[in-house]
Chains A and B, each alone.
Chain A
Amino acid sequence: FLTPSMEDLTSPKQDKENQELGEARRPWEEIAASSQDPESGLSEPLESEQWLETGPQPRSSPPQSPQSRASPPLDDVRGPGAPSPPSPAPEASFIPSTLALAGQQLAAPWQSDRTIDVNPKAETPRSHHLEQSDQGESTAPQTCQSEGDTFQQSQQTERHLYGPEDVSDNNSKQKELRFNIFQEEDSNSNYELDHTESGVSEGAPSLLEIAIQSAKAYLLKTSSKSGLNLYDHLSDMLTKVLDERPENAVDIIESISQDVKMAHFRKKLDTLQNENEMLPIYETAEKQKALFLQGNLEGVDQELEDEIAENSLPNVMESAFYFEQAGVGLGTDETYRIFLALKQLTDTHPIQRCRFWGKILGLEMNYIVAEVEFREGEDEEDVEDEDVTEERDDGDSDAEENDEDELPRTFYKTPQVIPKEENRTGANKYVYFVCNEPGGPWVKLPSVTPAQIVTARKIKKFFTGRLETPIVSYPPFPGNESNYLRAQIARISAGTHVSPLGFYQFGEEEGEEEEEVEGRRDSFEENPDFEGIQVIDLVESLSNWVHHVQHILSQGRCNWFNPIQKSEEEEEEEDEEKEEEKGEEPEYMEQEVGPPLLTPISEDIEIQNIPPWTTRLSSTLIPQYAIAVLRSNLWPGAYAFSNGKKFENFYIGWGHKYSPDNYTPPPPPPVYQEYPSGAEITEMDDPSVEEEQASRAAREAAVLPVAEMGESEEDEDEDDDSDQE
């Protein structure tokens, strides 16, 4: 179906080509003639004679002769038993016959190649052509036999030249052989029409055709990797293009090529490496599969626990939906995985209340943080931990006391360790669990000590994602990354956890009795009568938001711990040290007070003219259903939303505080002054001879008998004696 149109298209070009080639060919005749090997030269005339004779009946016999020439070497290659290649004879004679155009014989090789390559399976068109060719044959005048001779000869020789090459290649060359035959036939049958051009093309194996042949041979070379060859590949590609007729085919030719190759794709030999690369994906999938299956895995005694578990699990998806309105969040599927991971956590631990705290980014891995509250009396593990640490401290101090008594011991007392707050109070009110990715194991973070918070305020480090990483910093951080993470979580919570005014109220029983002594209350409960606040009010006024997590004092605790009471003996030293820290009265330390609980955030301190919070309505387009979004400028990444009745806090970020200035490492501690040079340090001059003599004389005069008895001692202890007296 293709041929006619292609011919029409190509023929004018080929005319030109033909002329050019004809000119180019002349010099080649001589070369070709000389380069013929003797054998071919000998066999040549015979062949051409045969050819001549059979020429007039092109349909039957002439194709035979090229076929017979071609088949023996082929048989050698393929073994004697192999069938000879399908005879191209009937097809051979037709293609050009439909062409009434001059100069076709040179164009023929191109043309026949194309038509056949593009339609390798196109048997029907061929047969169609066959009929045409019959007609063409019959009408073709058979006058110019003599000229035909010469031309045939040239074709023959030319083909002969290629013969050996073709044979030596693999059997894909059969095609090529066939093409050669076609080409001859083409020229032969078409020849009669071509009076004017025949003289030009007379008897020469053209340089161009040799080049074509060698290029074709190159294209047919089988790749050592894929077993394909470019020739077939190109023809497949063109077939595909013509079958599918895509738009702008030239633009997507690469992908077509790829598709064709993929279609050829054979089984990969080196699958080993490939599978290795994929492994981590499977591992994660396997881990996360546990999350999705956990509901089914639970046993029978689920029922009792269910009531509690349902209460303890937060509705992560609901708050994620609201945060998404605010433009914060982790994406739906990750949130859901975290949701499932939280369920896993609440199912495996005695948890009363659980909350998705947020995500802290790390260099290698990230932390997903869950904030939980254990049920009463079920967090005993902590107590044990504390005991261990305390014992260790005691042991150290005991060991020091057993040292020698005589030398003065160091007066330096390490600044008194401020004890950490009990579980469920202050900064240790909640317990935090972290995992690197949903499905991974939850790790409980240790409770935080004031020293860690104090130090954490002075350093700024990236999290790596591995909890055991030591924190290398100045000042030295007491603990590893898990402690630093815990300290940052405490600081962020204290700074950014806010709720709409009125949502929480102070508890009546515990709060007032226990804590009233210090004028502060640190417990609160949900206000059952909370009626909600208008969203627009929440956006417009910061005083409608209050902190519901205790402020952390610069001491590192939420509740004041008076270091003086407990260490009355070293009161003076303590005071001196504390004086530097606080700059307050030396004798009695003033209690440090921070903003009390449920303080409106409008009273937060500004960061160098920057307001600490930014509020916004989530949507300006549909304000009636929008929610209020609060963003902390002090802790970038901390967000809160409220729709009037509900609220949630969320943090995602690197876990660092914002400061407009760059981080400055704390200055080195002051150098301790040396002991002032006084009476205890300076010594008198040695006693002079006169003084000694005088004193000796005095002694002799006073106690004579004693001197005689202790004469030997006197020599040794002369100096001491003189000093003493």
Chain B
Amino acid sequence: MDAESLLLSLELASGSGQGLSPDRRASLLTSLMLVKRDYRYDRVLFWGRILGLVADYYIAQGLSEDQLAPRKTLYSLNCMEWSLLPPATEEMVAQTSVVKGRFMGDPSHEYEHTELQKMSEGEKVFEEEVVVQIKEETRLVSVIDQIDKAVAVIPRGALFKTPFGPIHVNRTFEGLSLSEAKKLSSYFHFREPVELKNKTLLEKADLDPSLDFMDPLEHDIPKGSWSIQMERGNALVVLRSLLWPGLTFFHAPRTKNCGYIYVGTGEKNIDLPFML
């Protein structure tokens, strides 16, 4: 959700019970402005929070002018002092995938993971148990990256591709119509397209290159990994990710108000097929 319209967005997203206490709100409104100034971001998003056992991580993201360019992620424990997280790498994701369970809330906490590594001494090859230390900060980076890539949502038309390539916020976006708002195909993954390249020419024929440059949600696997609801008598559409429970996307049809927030434990719901 946009840092500038934070209060309205929080109100809209409150149907899932994911709020912020008044002091957090106030401090976010203040500190995100400073973040925007200091880091020279074009736009600052309040991304959400990850519930830890001891403390919660509050996450914000800074966007450059090109909306799809890699985003800078910051975290804070008290909503005032923000620290920049390093960009996520494939290595990190692979490394942290072995860690299960809840976050602690202490970025310097180290998870211990024992794994078997093949050691070769001369001709002998034997396996040895090696204790790998994984920092929670690394895990945080990779989880945020995974969530962003999997379930960050943007309605169709809110961004447009300029002829020169960069993707900008569409000023003329006036919200989805009601009939569109009920379909998953009107929502896109807020990331660089992955599946779009694999589409056939026939499928691409109807796409508007300036708007349809991202992957729509409707082809997500497994089917049914989104819950789409009209709340307040169709005045608000709410998408909840079932794959990453805690991610809520809201959009008031026919207005520009839209955004997503993640409040959860930072764990993927791997039981999804059983639960549908």
Q: Which residues of A contact B (CB under 8 A)?
A: 251-252, 254-255, 258, 277-278, 280-285, 324-332, 334, 359, 361-366, 437, 459-462, 608-611, 614, 618-622, 631, 633, 636-637, 652-654, 656, 658, 660-663, 665
Contact = CB atoms under 8 A, between A and B. Distances in A.
B271 A662 contact: yes
B120 interface: no
Contact of B53 (A359, A366, A437, A611): A611
A280 B230 contact: yes
Contacts of B275: 460-462, 656, 663
B274 A608 contact: no
Given A252-B171, A277-B179, A662-B270, A608 B101 contact: yes
Contacts of B51: 631, 636
A653 B16 CA distance: 7
Given A325-B22, A621-B23, A652 B16 contact: yes
Given A327-B24, A329-B14, A460 B274 contact: yes
A284 B232 contact: yes
A358 B142 CA distance: 33
A327 B19 contact: yes
A633 B53 contact: yes
Given A327-B19, A330-B17, A280 B53 contact: no
Interface of B: 11, 14-17, 19-24, 51, 53-54, 78, 100-102, 171-172, 177-179, 224, 227, 229-235, 240, 242, 245, 264-265, 270-271, 274-276
A365 B234 CA distance: 12
Given A280-B233, A281-B233, A663-B271, 16 more contacts: A255-B172, A280-B234, A281-B235, A283-B233, A327-B20, A331-B14, A362-B227, A437-B231, A459-B274, A461-B275, A462-B227, A462-B242, A610-B53, A658-B265, A660-B102, A661-B100
A329 B100 contact: no
Nearest to B234: A280
A330 B171 contact: no
A620 B53 contact: no
15 contacts: A280-B233, A281-B235, A282-B233, A330-B14, A330-B15, A361-B227, A364-B227, A365-B229, A366-B229, A461-B276, A608-B101, A610-B102, A619-B21, A620-B78, A662-B271
A611 B101 CA distance: 11
Nearest to A437: B231
Contacts of B224: 363
A281 B233 CA distance: 4
Contact of B21 (A324, A461, A631, A636): A324
A365 B232 CA distance: 11
Contact of A665 (B17, B23, B171, B274): B274
B45 to A, nearest CB: 19
Contacts of A361: 16, 227, 240
Given A366-B229, A462-B275, A663-B274, A619 B23 contact: yes
Nearest to B12: A331
Nearest to B240: A361
Nearest to A619: B23
A359 B240 CA distance: 15
Contacts of B177: 277
Contacts of B54: 614
Nearest to B100: A660
A328 B274 contact: no
Contacts of B274: 459-461, 663, 665
B75 to A, nearest CB: 17
A283 B232 CA distance: 10
B17 A637 contact: yes
Contacts of A277: 177-179
B18 to A, nearest CB: 8
Interface centre among A283, A325, A662 (most CB of B within 10 A): A662
Contact of B14 (A334, A366, A462): A334
Nearest to B179: A277
Contacts of A363: 224, 227, 242
Contacts of A662: 270-271
B51 to A, nearest CB: 8
A524 B171 CA distance: 61
A326 B21 contact: yes
B242 to A, nearest CB: 7
B171 A255 contact: yes
B14 A254 contact: no
Contacts of A663: 271, 274-275
Given A258-B172, A277-B178, A277-B179, A652 B17 contact: yes
A330 B18 CA distance: 8
A636 B229 CA distance: 21
B16 to A, nearest CB: 7
Contacts of B101: 608-610, 660
A636 B22 CA distance: 22
A580 B226 CA distance: 40
Given A284-B232, A327-B20, A254 B271 contact: no
Nearest to A288: B233
A254 B172 contact: yes
B233 A460 contact: no
Contacts of A652: 16-17
A328 B20 CA distance: 7
Contact of A285 (B24, B53, B179, B233): B233
Contacts of B172: 254-255, 258
Contact of A653 (B17, B20, B102): B17
A460 B245 CA distance: 14
Given A284-B233, A327-B24, A610-B53, A254 B171 contact: yes
A57 to B, nearest CB: 54
Given A251-B171, A614-B53, A328 B17 contact: yes
Nearest to A284: B233
Contacts of B245: 654
Contacts of B242: 363, 462
A277 B23 CA distance: 39
A328 B102 CA distance: 19
Nearest to A663: B271
Nearest to B13: A331
A502 to B, nearest CB: 27
A324 B18 CA distance: 10
A329 B16 CA distance: 8
A618 B24 CA distance: 10
A661 B267 CA distance: 11
Nearest to B53: A614
Contacts of B17: 328-330, 359, 637, 652-653
Nearest to A257: B172
B114 to A, nearest CB: 15
Nearest to A473: B274
A205 to B, nearest CB: 36
B271 A460 contact: yes
B19 A331 contact: yes
Contacts of A608: 101
> Which 6 A/B pairs are nearest by Cβ-Cβ distance?
A284-B233, A331-B14, A652-B17, A663-B271, A327-B21, A280-B234
Nearest to B49: A327
Contacts of B21: 324-327, 618-619
Contacts of A334: 14-15
B178 to A, nearest CB: 5
A648 to B, nearest CB: 14
A188 B221 CA distance: 74
A359 B16 CA distance: 9
A621 B80 CA distance: 12
A78 B235 CA distance: 50
Contacts of A610: 53, 101-102
A6 B19 CA distance: 56
Interface centre among B172, B234, B240, B265 (most CB of A within 10 A): B234
